[in-house]
Amino acid sequence: MSEISKAYEPQSVEDKWYRFWLDRKCFVADPARVSPRRPAYSIVIPPPNVTGVLTMGHVLNNTIQDILARKARMDGKEVLWLPGTDHAGIATQTVVEKALKKAGEIKHRDDWGREKFLERVWQWKEKHGGIIIQQLKKLGASCDWTRERFTMDEAYSRCVQKAFVELYKKGLIYRGKRMVNWCPATQTALSDEEVVMKEQKGSLYYFKVEVVDCSGAVSAPPSGNAAVTDRRYNEIKSTGVWLTIATTRPETIPGDTAVAVNPKDPRYAKFIGKHVVRPLPAELPRELKLIPIIGDEHVDFEFGTGVLKVTPAHDQADFEIGQRHKLPQIDIMHPNGHMNAAAGIGLNGLDRFKARKIAVELLTEMGALEKEEPYTNNVGFSERADVPIEPRLSEQWFLKYPSVEQARNCVEQEDDSAGRASPRAGSSAAEDGSRERSTHQQMRFHPQRWAKVYDHWMGNIQDWCISRQLWWGHRIPVWYPKSGSGACQSRDGSPADLHPRLHDIWCNINPPPDPENWEQDPDVLDTWFSSWLWPFATMGWPEQTPALKAFYPTSDLVTGPDIIFFWVARMIMAGYEFMGDPKFGLPDAKPFQNVYFTGIIRDKQGRKMSKSLGNSPDPLDLIGRHGADALRFGTMRSAPLGQDILFDEQNVELGRNFCNKLWNACRFRQMVGRADFPIQGEIDPKLLTADDKWILLKLDAAIREMNTAFAEYKFSDATATLYRFFWSEYCDWYVEASKAALSGGRRCESAQTEIQSGLMSAATEDEARKANTLAVIDFVLSHTLRLFHPFLPFITEELWHGMGYAEDMPDDQGGQTIMTAPWPKPLDDDFKSHYGLTGDDEKQIETRNELVSQGRNLRRNANIAANKKVNFILKPAREVTRHDVEVLKLLLNAESVEVKADYQPSKSTMTVRTESGDLFLPREGLIDVEAEKMRLKKELQKIDTDIARVEQKLANPNFVQKVPAEVLQEHQQRLAAWQAKRGHVTSALAALES
RNA sequence: GCGCGGUUAGCUCAGUGGUAGAGCACUACAUUGACACUGUAGGGGUCAGAGGUUCGAACCCUCUAUCGCGCACCA
């Protein structure tokens, strides 16, 4: 760093160092290096969608992971940060299909068929799959790229198949015809987690049906769509009674197979057992539309009219009523959400929403519609396709979740143990910056409130629909015999056997030996059925590989709370299920020690960032303009634990300014010279000034605060500490004060011998002090750079080398790269006593700084221009040295600071009194007496308020009796100080008035 | 309906019982001396409201208002 530029230019250093780290294999984890003295630390990345691009959410998430990984390396751990991407079934397939449609290549993926379409998805993946990885590298992510995984890698696919087969053999995976969440847009089943409820404004339609008596009904066993028409009645008698039914979905009337009332409802109980005539399809004769009135407790008498239409094939609750009463199911819809022939002539072929309108028209025409009221209800939407889902009977694969109890109990709840659950601020674990890694410790969520959400979900867990009617994904490893007798049922066939016992199927990770006689299940698995294996499938499971042995369970997981059920909960269950095998020798097979949930990044208006709103900044653009370190620092500073983040580019500008400040502080150090003489970088305790001691103590405090922040995962606290320490304490005070010592000496050459021979003159003392100051600066900067490194990896590496700090370190301890430099330890008692660091020094500087601030304030009030040098007079409260005076001159921008122990101020002298002494600013003839009086009166007023408040407290006998001694003492001291100040201000005021 | 989180300076947020804080924004002054991506000084707050506990409450408890999120859901 011979020629250092005036401003930090990130573009010129970032790529250079990233390549350096890659070339030196700094990110590569070696399981063989793990030992009791070099513990493992591991994180698996939440794999981004393979075709995605970097968003601010990724920046937040991955910056935190990188900070944790880099900190762990500096703590001397063997670190694995395992990266990779997710195939993201629906998302990717949809994107590719859309692109192909847009390009006019296809109208629908069926045009090409499965094989050709998949070929194109793979091509797309090859083309776009690397983008987000490259972007992560720009951010500085220190992932072990040699272990990059993709959820559809061959080895990974084998893991997915193995997991399926094992669970199938245990009887936890079954196939069944069930009511599922069906997405008519993508035409696949979805899990409950992929459905989001949205409030919809619609109508509640009231229509009437006639109650009839049908004597001599011959009940035939229900059989699918023909159920109703299979019934034959001898006679149908009108009763002249009509029931009114309220519904939001009149288009499903043709699928109704009963009308339900509450058996306890006095209005309707008497009708149970009679029938009504279903109004639709209009063209069917009455006798083919008779449906029974049944009694079911599910019906709420308060809602609507208290009469419920029951559509077992198109509503979850109705399906269950249908089960209880053995009602037939009439499927009236195609998989694409259009009505089928069973819906009747009027509706057949219409889209379900169009059909709703037409159904209302038909009811109106026949005089059945009584009224329509506006109504708002919650409707389930497909999260991906953003269309209302359709509850639909279909045959799917389901998973009864494994290891639920273990998974539920392994997460520490807030009331588990008050002691352990609370943050361990200042504890010994926090001080050395390491978290315990006992395998018997419960998993901990940060912030912990998510544990409750997790527990609630785990306690109400439903079987997971894992099959998807997509092409892009892992094929279900199940084959059916082609000539299939009982085992091979049509997918939308009937009857609805809810728990078919499937015999004669081939479920294996390998295809059957005689493939010509079998056909594979056409479906693929839910993407999350592969990602739930991520923490161990990426490390070589099912083999007990060195990586698994060394790095599983992982240390920390960093992810968004939006996927706590999708991913986190399932990974925990999978961990227990698949890593609990005794061959892995784990006392506790949980996948993580800690889970950190980030907030969600929003824009300044609090809206979630999204492509459609166009409110999501491009992180790469921000990196290009401000630098990766600036983006990281700004993001971290505005991201408190567990709170959503309102993103504003100003945060990044703050980060950029901060990097520039760091850069220039180092540049300043470079410009004032080398520390060779007389102490060669070693700090001489005898030559330390109070300012030196003060900054060392501040450094110590900063290190401790950083360790506490890390122990509590409070990254915004950590950045705030760094910001305050470096800018407000080091630059604003220490560097400014150090200029007094640095501008002092000149003749370095002869000073060393003179010091040794005890003949040190004032001049050579200046020289020695200058060198010592440089040594202190180097000490502070070399520690500071290390504290910054996890947050600002690029600029710290550049400065680490540029400043020459690398040269002083052993090769594997920072000599090659700051990445392996040891994380700073708090200054211990030996250090402090060797260098004579005491609270008195700290106090001395703090009161001195108070004096300086007030002196500057005096200047300001006297309307003295900031660049005008003036003469101050100091009446010190204790002994002052020549050096102290030099510092004061500098900090006050004074021409001189005259020390006069017996100074008597005249009328036109402005004064301040502090614990360090009294400071006078004589302004013969220049002072604005009235203005100064105003200022003093205002100050007096404030002092009086403060005094009154404390006096009131002290006058309270309860206060004096009950309060702890030190608090009482502190109040008394405060009162005394204010009273002294009051006396001073009063006399100053009196002097002006005399 | 149940649960969680928020409400503190113009804005974004820290602040676990003892003198209300930071950054940005704002005002004034300064500019060859590391840094204008800067420095110095300053203005600005009934800590959402009400009640309670306490010698003492932004902080603990209760209720209310309001914003956001999650879960469940009546057709």
Identify, with chain letter, the residue nearest to nucleotide B22 (CA–C1').
Answer: A720
The enclosing H or E element of A558 equals strand A554-559
**The nucleotide closest to A303 (CA, C1' atoms):** B74
CA of A623 and C1' of B15: distance in angstroms?
A: 32
Over the stretch A708-748, which tens digit does the pLDDT of each residue have? Answer: 999 988 998 999 999 999 999 999 999 999 998 887 544 33
CA of A449 and C1' of B60: distance in angstroms?
A: 19
Nearest-angstrom CA–CA distance, A228 and A230: 5
Q: What does residue A25 show for φ and ψ, rounded to 5 degrees?
A: 55, 40
**The nucleotide closest to A660 (CA, C1' atoms):** B37
CA of A720 and C1' of B21: distance in angstroms?
A: 12
Over the stretch A863-915, which tens digit does the pLDDT of each residue have? Answer: 888 888 888 999 988 888 888 999 999 999 888 898 988 888 777 788 888 88
Identify, with chain letter, the residue nearest to nucleotide B12 (CA–C1').
Answer: A646
Measured CA distances, A630 to A10, A290, A659 (Å): 9, 72, 7
Mean pLDDT to the nearest integer, A452-462? 90
Q: Which amino acid is at A86?
A: D
CA of A606 and C1' of B50: distance in angstroms?
A: 30
Query: Distance of alpha carbon A329 from its chain centroid, rounded?
Result: 45
CA of A892 and C1' of B41: distance in angstroms?
A: 12
Identify, with chain letter, the residue nearest to nucleotide B37 (CA–C1').
Answer: A657
| pLDDT for A1 beyond 90 | no
Q: What does residue A104 show for φ and ψ, rounded to 5 degrees?
A: 75, 10
CA of A54 and C1' of B47: distance in angstroms?
A: 38
CA of A361 and C1' of B75: distance in angstroms?
A: 20
C-beta separation of A910 from A861 below 8 A: yes
Nearest-angstrom CA–CA distance, A370 and A205: 8
Query: Distance of alpha carbon A720 from its chain centroid, rounded?
Result: 19
Largest CA distance in chain A: 130
Query: For position A436, what pLDDT does the model report?
Result: 41
* Chain B nucleotides covered by protein, CB below 7 Å: 3-6, 11-15, 18-19, 22-24, 29-31, 34-42, 54-56, 68, 70-75
DSSP string, A467-508: EES-SSSPBPSEEEETT-SSS---TT-SS--SS----S-EES
CA of A256 and C1' of B64: distance in angstroms?
A: 46
| Residue A501 pLDDT level (bands cut at 50, 70, 90) | very low
**The nucleotide closest to A456 (CA, C1' atoms):** B71
Q: pTM for this one? A: 0.90
**The nucleotide closest to A891 (CA, C1' atoms):** B40
Nearest-angstrom CA–CA distance, A98 and A91: 11
More confident residue, A756 or A26: A26
For residue A933, what are its two tokens?
A: 């009086």
Over the stretch A100-143, which tens digit does the pLDDT of each residue have? Answer: 888 888 888 888 889 999 999 999 999 888 899 999 999 999 99
For residue A32, what are its two tokens?
A: 């063989």
Nearest-angstrom CA–CA distance, A195 and A600: 20
Query: For position A416, what pLDDT does the model report?
Result: 53
**The nucleotide closest to A861 (CA, C1' atoms):** B41
| pLDDT for A494 beyond 70 | no
Q: Which amino acid is at A59?
A: V
Over the stretch A239-254, which tens digit does the pLDDT of each residue have? Answer: 888 999 999 999 999 9
Query: For position A643, what pLDDT does the model report?
Result: 76
For residue A491, what are its two tokens?
A: 């997918």
Over the stretch A295-308, which tens digit does the pLDDT of each residue have? Answer: 998 888 888 899 99
**The nucleotide closest to A4 (CA, C1' atoms):** B34
Least confident residue range of A242-256, A335-349, A408-422: A408-422
**The nucleotide closest to A946 (CA, C1' atoms):** B19
DSSP string, A771-823: HHHHHHHHHHHHHHHHHHTTT-HHHHHHHHHHTTGGGGS-GGGTTS-GGGSPP
CA of A830 and C1' of B34: distance in angstroms?
A: 33
CA of A628 and C1' of B11: distance in angstroms?
A: 25
Over the stretch A745-777, which tens digit does the pLDDT of each residue have? Answer: 443 334 444 445 555 566 677 778 888 899 999
Nearest-angstrom CA–CA distance, A9 and A656: 10
| Residue A541 pLDDT level (bands cut at 50, 70, 90) | very high
